Amino acid sequence: MENFILYSLSAFFLVLALVVYFGKGDNLIAGYNTASEQERAQYNIKRLRLIIALLLLLSAGFVLTLLYFPYISIIATPIFVLVTLICVVLANTWAKK
């Protein structure tokens, strides 16, 4: 049962990554959907989509890694947190115009 949940979660992240990357999920990007037109104009949406899609793909990979190799969660979790922080920084610097 728990394997099914983890596979479903990973598939959900994968589908979300595709939706965001191809531009159909801009309203799913936190902060961007509530920003005014002036604030949205400050961001390069293609770069922001790329960063969010990569983060979602990495999330799917992280879930699958924990499913198949639960014993490396002590190493994988801090790495995933670090990568998430890097993506947040990139979204606020590299994705800005």
pTM higher than 0.95:
no
Domain count, the chain: 1
Position 22 confidence tier, pLDDT thresholds 50, 70, 90: very high
Domain of residue 57 covers 2-93
Over 90: is that where the pLDDT of 49 sits?
Answer: yes
pLDDT digits (tens, 9 = 90+) for 66-97: 999 999 999 999 999 999 999 999 999 999 98
Dist. CA 80–CA 61, nearest whole Å: 10
Angle formed at CA 33 by CA 84 and CA 85, multiple of 5 degrees: 10
- How many C-beta neighbours within 10 Å does residue 11 have? 13
